[in-house]
Structure 1
Amino acid sequence: MQEAVLSGPESATSTPPVAGLPVAPWTILCVDDEPNILSSLRRALRNPRYRVLTAPGGDEALAMLEATPVDLVISDMRMPGMDGARLLGQIRRRWPRTMRILLTGYADVDSTVAAINEGQIYRYVNKPWDDGELQVTVAQALERLELEREKERLEALTHAQNEELRRFNAELERRVEERTVEVTQANDKLKRNYMTSIKVFANLIELRGTQLVGHGRRMAEMARALSRAMGCNSEDTQAVFVAALLHDIGLIGLSDEILAKPVPKLSVEELALYRKHPILGEQSLMALDDMQPVAALIRAHHEHFDGKGFPDGRAGADIPLGARILAIVDAYDDLLNGHMGAAGLKTAQVRTLLMHGRGSQFDPEVLDVFLHINQPSAPTPPAPISMTTEHLQPGMVLAADMISREGALLLATDHVLTADTIRRIRQYEQREGMRIELRVRPMRKT
């Protein structure tokens, strides 16, 4: 029923190797019901690179395909039982990677068209065939098959490499993300340690037990808020914050006696020593490269907008904006907490004194922004309560309109009650013979 033939290298009709084809033999299945045709095909395909199998019919060919991998099927068209078109059609559906060639006579045009449509054959060969043409056709079919397989192999390899690359990228992204988190945490820790060191350094002056305790911390918070309100970037705002913490570090070398005195009460000699502290503060940071912007603000924080400050007599925009910010918050905290006199002043008094220095000691624009963001908040009015007339007292304020039975407005909201008003309300209540309850707010404090 079936026969396998391995043709030897001695054949004179063997075709030359086709470039790109593998050395391992190709398996070719020839199907025809005529033994002499199968013998002719074996002779024509005698080649060390071909392993030729034969089958006498379609059913036998399908059985062989189920048992043995086949690269190329060459089938006659006219065979009893299953013809070539049906056979090649089934092969296309079940073994789509197997190449298919149809042998047909000139009179089989309709059958050939059916085979082409149903079996999607690679090529058809007319009978009788020319051995040379058949050998070339088979070689071309197998070369195409090899190219298709190489294409599939390369696509699979590319897909596998892409998948591996995707996994590698995912792993790389995960590691980068983990490393980024570690670096961010380390950076945050470094920043915290940096600020902790700054605050510890700033606290050295407070260990002297003077009235400057807490001054740097309060000033730093106000300076940071004012810097943000002025539209400074985060880097400049941070420099202002640190400079506020350290602005008086130059005072650390002064005696307790000088530090305990308000500035206006210093002697000439003591004042001269005091006025050196901005320079000493700057010099104490000379060795720290990253602190030079802060050092510049510390040196200039006692300069006046009109040029009459110290230590360099700088004026206007020549004074760094951060130093102009420090000058205002420094004076504000000094006045509020008694550093400039025997006792601290009230907020309203401090605001008035700062306004007196507008344009002379302080930058007008910066001062206006500072006073705006530090406006005293208006007291929250007390919640209204319901009260009968016998409990009303002069000074209370109506929280809702007083309306008569007829809907007439008797007293409007925010009306301040007097003794006469309360008396008339009680008389109205008696005349009308009804109990009146009003919504009022407590008495205004004068």
Structure 2
Amino acid sequence: MTLTEQAPMTSIANTPPTVLCVDDEPNILSALRRLFRPHGYRLLTADSGAAGLAVLESETVDLVISDMRMPQMDGAQFLAQVRQRWPGTVRLLLTGYADIGAILDAINHGEIYRYVTKPWDENDIVLVVRHALERRALEQDKLRLEALTASQNAELLLLNASLEQKVAVRTQQLKLSHDELQTANDKLKATFVTTIKVFSNLIEMRGGKLAGHARRVAELSRKLAQTMGLEAQDARDVFIAALLKDIGKLSLSDDLLELPASAWNGEQLATFRKHPLRAEQLLMALDELRPVSVILRSQLERFDGAGFPDALAGLAIPLGARILALASDYDGLQIGAMVQRSLRADEARTLVYDSGGKRYDPAVVAAFRSLMDQTQAPPRDMAVLSGELEPGMVLSRDLISRDGLMLLAGEHVLTARVIAQLLDFEGKNGGRLAIRVYPPAVAP
């Protein structure tokens, strides 16, 4: 015989934990129902071990509380079967007898989490159940994250293997001359960056206001790196790190990502602060992206040492991470990802300037101020309509659709087939694309 009672949960979980109470004494079951009703659990009851097993066969149960002394099947025997058939269910033993042998049997065969003596202290048993459920939730989340990390690492390894195979094949074909080999290497680099851009675009599809965020941060990060005199490879690592800066957020909930940072509670903030570590783990298997993973791990560090996850301070923070932190926050302030409203560019700049020496490296702030103060140089490229495109023209920047998807990467050389596809895309989507190309005199 079973009885189900449900009470509204006060936690943020979508589904309340399910607790099964098994005892052959109706007054004990009633007392347990009265005790746990205010705590938001979904309660199931059974008056025997056999009835409890029947409930478990039809319901998903997070925690079982079983009496020790029951006819036909005692608590130790019942919990042993629960452990064998539903090992993920937490098991508690309720006993009013000082029977050490029975308790040891329950521990050895049922692997119980705790045992509680009757009569119980209400506060103690409530705390025991709460801690047991919290521990189970943490273990499940750990297993889920480990599985997700393993899966994504496997996908990245496959991508890396595929790229390495293409490099080997292409290199073998182009060994005839040094010029041909250099051409193949340049194409490979462009393909790699384009692949990173496409992957970054897929990450941003989780939220509307994130569209284009990583690309804008990457461009600003590259300009800051060049202004500060970084080597070409180091500047490229900062650029790629900016494109992949949100890869660790793939395991975060949509509800959390929709909120601005200033609206997070303590638990949400703690969850968010773990994403740089996940990003490092996801890229760990790729030797080519190891410098990028170092930057991503430290992207939430602060110059004053109050950041995460390692509380690094000053020059101990990798320079790429110091650059990325400023560029990301500057764009995040303008799209409403950090505060309740979207700030104007001048308001965001003021906040960045005021945070020099605290949140940001003063040297990076100085480079940022220099960029902002520069007089806008005449554009080297020009805007054209799709009907004005000609084969051989070179895109001066990424071609982005109206909903934020990257269609073609910058530096792409247009062909007649690609131009026809762009014309068809505009016709089907009812809007013109913002196309910019290099004039023939300045095309790279």
Normalization by structure 1: what TM-score? 0.44
Q: Which has the greater radius of gyration?
A: 1
